[in-house]
Structure 1
Amino acid sequence: MSTADTRRDAASAGSPPAAKLTLLTLTTMVVGSMVGAGVFSLPRRFAEETGVAGALIAWAVAGTGMLMLALVFQTLAVRRPDLDAGVYAYAKAGFGEYLGFFSAFGYWASACVGNVTYWVLIMSTVGAVWPALGDGDTLLAIVLSSVGLWGFFLLIRRGVKEAAAINRIVTVAKIVPILVFVLLALFCFEADVFVDNFRGADYAGSLFNQVRGTMLATVFVFLGVEGASVYSRHAKRRKDVGRATILGFLSVFAVFASVTIVSYGILPMSEIAELRQPSMAGVLEAAVGTWGKVFVSVGLIISVLGAYLAWTLMSAEVLFVAAKDDDMPRFLGRATPADVPVPALLMTTCLTQIVLVVTVFSDDAFNFALDLTSSLSLIPYLLAAAFAVKIAMRPDARTEGRVTRGEAIVAALAVLYTAFLLFAAGLKFVLVSFILYAPATILFVMARREQRRRLFSPAELVVLAVSVAGAVVGVIALAAGWISL
């Protein structure tokens, strides 16, 4: 059954119509999704791995790769306008229902884990003046984060239009302190410090390893580039989806690269690597004094809360549309008259709460959640890019016009980039991702039983076996101490 058919059936059954969003709102949702916790942690995260030379190469690689992905989402929005919910829908159309389900779950789970980084960073920021909060992973920090978590649940439950309007306002408010940081850092820029940081410190290793070590951080900050695609069912005009994706990406790429590079002109990279997160606050404090740290900290809280709002909306949307397409249990496809998928929103909030509690047992809660978020998103991104290649190789009657050679090259480059990211992530995070993926199959089984269909095809059984084997190895590795949280 196509998505269009599903939506018509839903409408005839009395489901509420989708709220319609403009190009401006879609663009701010893309920007709001990407500009969150990650940008404020970039100085330390990069300084832990590389110097200026490695950072320039890393941003060139990440910027090019993510631009390819952004162009892929733009192309797919035009070529297959019948597919809603972006990442999930593309994986299903290209590679079947089970891999489509994995894409939906992986994207959703990455959003939930990513939401945890927001609360950890907020509590770590406040912890600079309230030691009881530590680095955002103490018991008190978890309790306060949980209160905020469920407060946002109640806010979003009131309606998508209202929450999206709030996100548009917050996006503008949080960009201002980041731009001020870049301008002040440029004003206080010390050329000799920058030159000393160019090659990197002794602990950084080879240039290739330096660049590789930054890759998951760059993936994390760019998560959300597909935001407009995920919300395609809400767009007033379908072409706005692709436009919002490119506009949002180019805007935040300039900001992210600038924040990273100018920091190398303020402090030696070894000192930046030791800063408390959010490290952007420590860099500005070194440049202009204590008020700079306070200024960035306030901006961070606004930014992170806005990003949390956008990501919660998107993750619930993925579950909702997957349920409407019969790839998730039916209870996740229910929505209120205000177009809010409350069961999907509740499930999103619950998983975020669980992961939030798990951070107590992590050695470095923020970095672990950041890397796991990036790893979980790679499979959905890879499948979407591979679907674009498939369309380029064999366009069919549903494709809006013939795919050009340029679009085919872009899709191939996007596949190569995401494959490299899986390599850069390393075995640890791939195995931990399997630990989450394999049990999720229960939801797939529930959906198939509701439809009284065969549970797995032969090909799907192979995918199931691989995911279960990976999960078993991951659990053994954790229990034996080969990998740690």
Structure 2
Amino acid sequence: MSTSKIGLFSLTALVFSSMVGSGVFSLPQNMAAVANGSALLIAWLITGVGILFLAFSLLYLSRQYPELDGGIYNYAREGFGEMIGFCSAWGYWLCTTIGIVGYVVIVFSGLGMFVDRPDRVIFGEGNTIYALIGSSIFVWLIHILVSRGIREAAIVNLLATIAKIVPIVIFIVCTLLAFKLEVFQRNLFDFSLQVPLWQQVKDLMLITLWVFTGIEGAVVLSSRAKDRYDIGKATVLGVLLALTFYVLVTVLSYGVSSRADIAAMHNPSMATILTQLIGLPGTIIITVGLIISVASSYLSWTLYATEIPFLAAKNAAFPEIFSRTNQNNVPISSLWLTSIVVQGSLIAVYFFNKNYTQLLLISSVMILLPYFLVSAFYLKESTKKRHYRHVFIALVATIYATWLLYAAGLSLLILSVILYAVGLCIFFYSYFSSKKRFQS
């Protein structure tokens, strides 16, 4: 790879692409399964405010601490020490790695809409042997592309991001034209779930968090940006664009079909809704958009998953081997680690018959600590400097991150503790290995 840097448009595309991946195409069904229209609006209000304040936290941190490359890891390390910094890096790496496994699973689930029949299931929910073979080929093709250079991969991602916006816009236009206020009002006050409103909002929070995971993309790749001021701009622009799309896709869906009908749809549910409105072209448009979207999002997240162990290894938080780069300046050992873990996870998905939703929950819970640490570091530094405008922004972001921890529930938090405990074994191995090297 050349040493050329990534510009504002490519950075914004990386942020947007990593957020708007496969999740948006299943969002109507995912949300309708757990919430009525009232809970939907409340959840988007909380998420919109929280995620924007988190975006502003990343924006100001990237400008106040330009020397801290890779934000998610180095902000936690600077604010709370080596071990906490490692935990942030480990949680983030697991989130991105498990997340991209989910991306591949759902794209083959989408292909199943074309080829599966009741008497002949080929791709199913993305967890059949044929899906495993196809997804494995895809993983290693992306591995080859990324190994050729970060900037080159970012340019490919920019083109793919532009292409995947088109089917989402078509869906929004069609559902807007078909929108019926009386249908939306029935969904607004649908009590058939027999679940308290606040519990419905809680159940939505991990879903809304999942679709915004990737907000930190420009910060993670900060060392590769042309202009460090572009990092914050790209973060906020990407969030605003993604938030607009998410709200329109879900709210308009609640105006064209009943909540129960949407909840019963096969994913990607956007394809089912659009097919009901315009016929077979709806399935084709959304499924093609899904494939393009997943490819670009998988590419974005592979870049992040590759960068974080590399940055952590430079500070001896990860084993030294992950600090190695190839002739294209790509952290090649880190890339191999990510690709091998993704391949192993896809094999596990096949043998244990797991699906996209379960992967989504695991990935979402692992990002909770890194996001909390980013906002807590910003709050700590702003309070120390008595910058009260920044204190307010950081406080709202921290409250949002704390609320997400509460909304995750006890079982998922226990799972995250177990996964973090596994990671600490790597930290102590790296720490004592680097100490021996220093003494020798």
Structure-1 residue corresponding to 2:372? 382
> How far apart are residue 273 of structure 1 and its match?
0.2
> How far apart are residue 407 of structure 1 and its match?
1.1
Structure 2 counterparts to residues 240-255 of structure 1, below 5 A = 240-255=230-245
- Single out whichever of 83-92 and 19-28 deviates more from structure 2: 19-28
1:35-74 deviation line (CA, Å, top 9, x unaligned): 1011111100110111221111110101111111101101
Q: Separation in 1 of the partners of 2:351 and 2:206?
A: 22
Which residue, out of 339, 351, 354, partners 1:349? 339
Q: Is the 8 A contact 2:127 2:353 kept in 1?
A: no
1:131-186 deviation line (CA, Å, top 9, x unaligned): 21111112221222112111211111111121111001001000111011000111
Q: Separation in 2 of the partners of 1:206 and 1:364?
A: 29
1:184-235 deviation line (CA, Å, top 9, x unaligned): 1111112222121112341151110111111111111001111111111011
Structure-1 residue corresponding to 2:30? 45
User: Is 1:358 aligned to residue 348 of structure 2?
Assistant: yes
Structure 2 counterparts to residues 108-187 of structure 1, below 5 A = 108-130=93-115, 131-187=121-177
User: Is 1:261 aligned to residue 246 of structure 2?
Assistant: no
Which residue, out of 89, 99, 118, partners 2:84? 99
Structure-2 residue corresponding to 1:298? 288
Q: Which amino acid aligns with 1:236?
A: K
Q: Separation in 1 of the partners of 2:408 and 2:353?
A: 18
User: Is 1:88 aligned to residue 78 of structure 2?
Assistant: no
Structure-2 residue corresponding to 1:36? 21
User: Is 1:336 aligned to residue 326 of structure 2?
Assistant: yes
> How far apart are residue 443 of structure 1 and its match?
2.1
Q: Which amino acid aligns with 1:411?
A: A
> How far apart are residue 294 of structure 1 and its match?
1.5
> How far apart are residue 349 of structure 1 and its match?
1.1
> How far apart are residue 363 of structure 1 and its match?
6.3
> How far apart are residue 300 of structure 1 and its match?
0.5
1:314-373 deviation line (CA, Å, top 9, x unaligned): 110111111112211111011112121110011011121222222235565111111111
Percent of residue pairs identical: 38
User: Is 1:367 aligned to residue 343 of structure 2?
Assistant: no
Q: Separation in 1 of the partners of 2:362 and 2:99?
A: 8
User: Is 1:234 aligned to residue 224 of structure 2?
Assistant: yes
Q: Which amino acid aligns with 1:77?
A: S
Q: Is the 8 A contact 2:24 2:211 kept in 1?
A: yes
Which residue, out of 355, 378, 400, partners 1:417? 400
Q: What secondary structure is seen at the aligned counterpart in 2 of 1:132? A: coil
Q: Is the 8 A contact 1:48 1:204 kept in 2?
A: no
Q: What secondary structure is seen at the aligned counterpart in 1 of 2:396? A: helix
Q: Is the 8 A contact 2:2 2:149 kept in 1?
A: no
Which residue, out of 404, 426, 436, partners 2:419? 436
Q: Separation in 2 of the partners of 1:17 and 1:87?
A: 26
CA separation of 1:378 and 1:19: change in aligned 2, threshold 3 A: farther
Q: Separation in 2 of the partners of 1:201 and 1:129?
A: 34
Q: Is the 8 A contact 1:29 1:168 kept in 2?
A: yes
Q: Is the 8 A contact 2:108 2:125 kept in 1?
A: yes
Which residue, out of 166, 175, 181, partners 1:191? 181
CA separation of 1:361 and 1:270: change in aligned 2, threshold 3 A: farther
Q: What secondary structure is seen at the aligned counterpart in 2 of 1:197? A: helix
Q: Is the 8 A contact 1:28 1:168 kept in 2?
A: yes
Structure-2 residue corresponding to 1:223? 213
> How far apart are residue 451 of structure 1 and its match?
1.9
Q: Is the 8 A contact 2:322 2:334 kept in 1?
A: yes
Q: What secondary structure is seen at the aligned counterpart in 1 of 2:34? A: coil
Q: Separation in 1 of the partners of 2:8 and 2:429?
A: 37
Q: TM-score, normalised by structure 1?
A: 0.86
Q: Separation in 1 of the partners of 2:127 and 2:416?
A: 21
Structure-1 residue corresponding to 2:307? 317
Q: Separation in 2 of the partners of 1:335 and 1:300?
A: 32
User: Is 1:21 aligned to residue 6 of structure 2?
Assistant: yes
Q: Which amino acid aligns with 1:35?
A: V
RMSD: 1.6
Structure 2 counterparts to residues 456-467 of structure 1, below 5 A = none
Structure-1 residue corresponding to 2:428? 445
Q: Is the 8 A contact 1:54 1:199 kept in 2?
A: no
> How far apart are residue 421 of structure 1 and its match?
0.7
Give structure 1 stretches of 5+ with no counterpart. Answer: 1-15, 396-402, 455-485
Higher relative contact order (CA 8 A, sep 6+): 2
- Single out whichever of 279-288 and 250-259 deviates more from structure 2: 279-288
Q: Count residues in correspondence.
A: 432
Q: Which amino acid aligns with 2:347?
A: V
Q: Is the 8 A contact 1:201 1:269 kept in 2?
A: no
Q: Separation in 2 of the partners of 1:23 and 1:63?
A: 23
Give structure 2 stretches of 5+ with no counterpart. Answer: 116-120
Q: Separation in 1 of the partners of 2:331 and 2:167?
A: 33
Q: Is the 8 A contact 1:19 1:339 kept in 2?
A: no
CA separation of 1:54 and 1:364: change in aligned 2, threshold 3 A: farther
Structure-2 residue corresponding to 1:287? 277
1:276-312 deviation line (CA, Å, top 9, x unaligned): 1101111111222221111111111000110000000
Q: Separation in 2 of the partners of 1:206 and 1:363?
A: 31
Structure-2 residue corresponding to 1:74? 59
Q: Is the 8 A contact 1:85 1:232 kept in 2?
A: yes
